[in-house]
Chains A and B, each alone.
Chain A
């Protein structure tokens, strides 16, 4: 079974060509070669979020995407994110939340970073407010299988307390990229 859920037949069989994902091996290579900072975009960097609740935080992050025209249906994305939160909060503790999911309303992997100095209650695993938000969206047809490896990279990076402290202080997108780049080098 392919990651997309499609049955995979033997090479050359009709079922093999039904799957529109690239092979896992090839996909992993592409995802591993792409640097974390290459996924981020200055337009999707929110240096100080206004939100004061979980709902508002999700809306503010999705609004950033809608304003750049990168998503076609904001409400579909919000519905998906709210369902994902119902499954278990993406507030992973230590002041970090990584709301994420796949939706047809997204046509490529997109990431929004938002920072809240005052913190937002997000039902986090440690019940502490969230200061750092990474909204990660991917289309279902993630041809190069970048989504889960990318999500894993963000989770790994953010485990480092020094990286979290530095991210909490960044004031510009350039500073943010620098922290990401140096954080990966330290791993």
Chain B
């Protein structure tokens, strides 16, 4: 997988974890002790991402909730629109990150 995309996926996983930690603690009884560590890990991870891609991630996440979405069968699973035929093939690891032309989300091939 493209290293930039890998970092963005990691960032999104962290964001989901931070978002759901309160519910896990209050509803399910898991002990959340180190939320500040997770925020620090997020900061550290964000620093490793190119500013351009980080800005895009933050902008799309603020708008849609999730910035990185899977592609399955040539469909963006964020907006459920088919990708153009030329963009449907899974990119090679050295290719740049692709974005859905319809919704602007960052695409991840399953």
Interface size, A (range):
35 or more
Interface residues on B, range: 35 or more
* 15 A–B pairs (Cβ distance < 8 Å), ordered by A: A4-B65, A6-B66, A18-B65, A18-B103, A72-B110, A80-B10, A80-B13, A80-B17, A88-B31, A101-B13, A101-B17, A104-B12, A104-B68, A104-B108, A151-B24
Interface of chain A residues 77 through 134 with chain B (CB within 8 A) = 79-80, 83-84, 86-90, 92, 101-105, 107, 125
Q: Which of chain B's residues 64-110 have a Cβ closer than 8 Å to chain A?
A: 64-66, 68-70, 72, 77-80, 103, 108, 110
Closest chain A CB from B25 CB (angstroms):
8
Residue numbers in A under 8 Å from B13 (CB-CB): 76, 79-80, 83, 101-104, 140
Neighbour of A86 across the interface among B34, B66, B79, B80, CB < 8 A: B34
In the complex, A125 Cα to B61 Cα: how many Å? 34
Q: Does B6 contact A (CB under 8 A)?
A: yes
Give 5 new A-B contacts, CB below 8 A, not counting A6-B66, A18-B63, A103-B9: A5-B65, A7-B65, A86-B38, A141-B69, A151-B28
List residues of chain A with CB within 8 A of the CB of B27: 148, 152
A139 interface residue per 8 A CB criterion: yes
Residues in B with CB closer than 8 Å to A7 are: 63, 65
* Complex CA–CA separation, A101 to B10 (angstroms): 12
